[in-house]
């Protein structure tokens, strides 16, 4: 079985490494390699990507940056669409082309049309659904900003889903959304759509006995509107004695720091860390929070749950299908008052905190372990190939 992984447009192994995500992202494919799946990585890196071969075991690396070089975005986009023409020998040598995300899937789709290859489209977060959730919750200016992306997003996903031989979605809310919005119902029997959660290496993300920071709340994420950052910060205004510790970066950092100064709240920006260091950091906290207004199947939430930490999340699709309120986590609204109440309730109720933390770990072991997800992916690949033979 030979599978070529089509990286998200513009993403390289070097970028994964620099953002601390390399070892997390490659672990699934290293496990699949152990099951005799011949994996290739089609990346948007240059020859520097080959330096990471030592971490990939038998996985092959095919960097394509030299084919898409340009200072003009539109030209780079057009050049990327020509990749299947230029690398015919590579594409014809693989049985399945799988995307990391929908963005950039046109490379896989063109290869399918040219060489009749099987294509699996993975949507780690459903792009159009995410756009709609963020756009409708913000100001008219922000809405119009997101609206300008709508046509691009819609047609990218429409073509990808229509041409796909298989679709992997990570949230059960996304399946009916995709079927409804892209008119896949009539072809549903011929389209294999699978719900496969994001995987978590449960041996790496595990409870560790260590000293806890008292009245410190941990949040990890990009500083973007979808993470509900400004309402989240406002929630700490009346949380006397609490400190928010943040891991991440993003375009709204300056605005966040100005609001923090205006609110006079205790916030620590810890910076970025390799994913391998996150378990040790997470275990220093009693409570982790993800107060987003839009999510797919958030890995960071699953990682915190796997570490046996009491987790708070907003009652939105992508989170409320993972967290069962007061069972394996705590749900709240997206407004500052609800977030504030949830933090004080969970932190100050030790019995509840310990119960949901224990059940959180159990949920990940049963649904998201690396072994479980590897097996589901492998069986899906087999189904796609068997369909071809039949």
Give the pLDDT band of residue 1 (cuts 50, 70, 90): very high
Q: Report pLDDT for 148.
A: 65
Q: Report pLDDT for 129.
A: 72
* Mean pLDDT confidence for 100-123: 95
What's the pTM?
0.85
Give the pLDDT band of residue 171 (cuts 50, 70, 90): confident
Burial state string for 236-267 with b = 16 or more CB within 10 A and e = fewer than 16: beebeebebbbbbeeeeeeebeebbeeeebbb
Structure tokens at 217: 């709340």
What is the third-level CATH fold of 216-367?
Answer: Rossmann fold (3.40.50)
Is residue 124 over pLDDT 80? no
CA distances from 300 to 240, 278, 314, 321 (A): 26, 10, 14, 15
Distance of alpha carbon 174 from alpha carbon 104, whole angstroms? 19
239-283 pLDDT, tens digit per residue, is 989 999 999 999 999 999 999 999 999 999 999 998 889 999 999
* Mean pLDDT confidence for 58-62: 96
Just give the CATH number of 2-199+369-389. Answer: 3.40.50.2000
Q: In the block, which residue shows the tokens 């928010």?
A: 244
Distance of alpha carbon 203 from alpha carbon 371, whole angstroms? 11
Is residue 191 over pLDDT 60? yes
DSSP 225: G
* Mean pLDDT confidence for 58-75: 94
Using DSSP, state whether 195 is helix, strand or coil.
Answer: strand
Give the pLDDT band of residue 133 (cuts 50, 70, 90): low
Percent of the chain at pLDDT exceeding 90: 77
Asked if 177 contacts 157 with a C-beta cutoff of 8 angstroms, the reply is no
Distance of alpha carbon 237 from alpha carbon 184, whole angstroms? 47
Is residue 131 over pLDDT 70? no
Task: Name the phi and psi angles at 239, rounded to 5.
Answer: -90, 80
DSSP 104: T
Same fold for the pair 2-199+369-389 and 216-367: yes
Is residue 231 over pLDDT 70? yes
Residue 147: count of CB within 10 angstroms of its CB: 12
* Mean pLDDT confidence for 165-186: 86
Q: Considering Cα of 330, then 335, then 340, then 341, what sign does the dihedral take?
A: negative
Asked if 308 contacts 182 with a C-beta cutoff of 8 angstroms, the reply is no
Q: Report pLDDT for 389.
A: 56
Q: Report pLDDT for 184.
A: 83
* Nearest residue to 128 (alpha-carbon basis) of 100, 104, 149, 143: 149
- Bridge partners of 123? 169
Domain ranges of the chain: 2-199+369-389, 216-367
CA distances from 33 to 37, 100, 150 (A): 5, 17, 37
If one compares 344 and 131, the residue with the highest pLDDT of the two is 344
Q: Report pLDDT for 147.
A: 66
Instruction: Count the residues in the chain.
Output: 390
Distance of alpha carbon 3 from alpha carbon 16, whole angstroms? 20
Distance of alpha carbon 254 from alpha carbon 316, whole angstroms? 27
Is residue 190 over pLDDT 80? no
Is residue 28 over pLDDT 60? yes
CA distances from 319 to 11, 187, 291, 332, 377 (A): 26, 29, 9, 11, 22
Structure tokens at 344: 């004080």
Q: What is the mean pLDDT of the chain?
A: 91
Q: Report pLDDT for 117.
A: 94
Is residue 285 over pLDDT 90? yes
Is residue 78 over pLDDT 90? yes
132-136, 228-232, 327-331: range with lowest mean pLDDT: 132-136
Is residue 323 over pLDDT 80? yes
Rounded to the nearest angstrom, the gap between the alpha carbon of residue 338 and the centroid of all alpha carbons in its chain is 25
């Amino acid at each position: 079985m030979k599978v070529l992984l089509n990286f998200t447009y513009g993403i390289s192994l070097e970028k994964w490494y620099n953002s601390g995500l390399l070892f997390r992202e490659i672990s699934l494919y290293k496990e699949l390699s152990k099951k005799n799946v011949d994996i290739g990585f089609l990346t948007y890196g240059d020859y520097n990507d080959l330096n990471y071969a030592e971490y990939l075991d038998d996985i092959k690396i095919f960097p394509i940056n030299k084919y898409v070089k340009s200072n003009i975005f539109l030209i780079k986009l057009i050049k990327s669409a020509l990749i299947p023409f230029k690398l015919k020998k590579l594409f014809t040598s693989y049985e399945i082309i799988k995307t990391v995300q929908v963005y950039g899937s046109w490379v896989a789709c063109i290869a399918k049309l040219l060489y009749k290859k099987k294509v699996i489209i993975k949507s780690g977060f459903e792009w159009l659904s995410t756009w709609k959730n963020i756009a409708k919750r913000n100001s008219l200016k922000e809405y119009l900003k997101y609206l300008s992306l709508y046509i691009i997003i819609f047609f990218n996903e429409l073509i990808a889903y229509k041409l796909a031989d298989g679709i992997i979605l990570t949230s059960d809310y996304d399946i009916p959304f995709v079927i409804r919005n892209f008119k896949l119902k009539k072809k549903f029997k011929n389209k294999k759509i699978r719900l496969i959660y994001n995987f978590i290496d449960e041996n790496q993300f595990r409870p560790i006995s260590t000293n806890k920071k008292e009245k410190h709340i941990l949040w990890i994420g990009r500083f973007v509107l979808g993470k509900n950052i400004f309402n989240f910060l406002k929630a700490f205004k009346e949380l006397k004695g609490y400190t928010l510790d943040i891991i991440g970066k993003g375009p709204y950092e300056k605005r966040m720091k100005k609001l923090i100064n205006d609110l006079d709240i205790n916030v620590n920006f810890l910076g970025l860390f390799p994913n391998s260091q996150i378990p040790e950091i997470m275990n220093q906290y009693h409570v982790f929070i993800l107060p987003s207004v839009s999510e797919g199947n958030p890995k960071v939430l699953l990682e915190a749950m796997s570490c046996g930490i009491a987790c708070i999340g907003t009652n939105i699709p992508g989170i409320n299908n993972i967290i069962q309120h007061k069972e394996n986590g705590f749900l709240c609204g997206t407004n500052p008052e609800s977030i504030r109440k949830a933090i004080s309730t969970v932190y100050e109720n030790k019995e509840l905190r310990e119960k949901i933390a224990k059940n959180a770990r159990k949920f990940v072991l049963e649904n998201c372990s690396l072994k479980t997800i590897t097996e589901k992916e492998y069986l899906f690949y087999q189904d796609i190939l068997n369909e071809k033979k039949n």
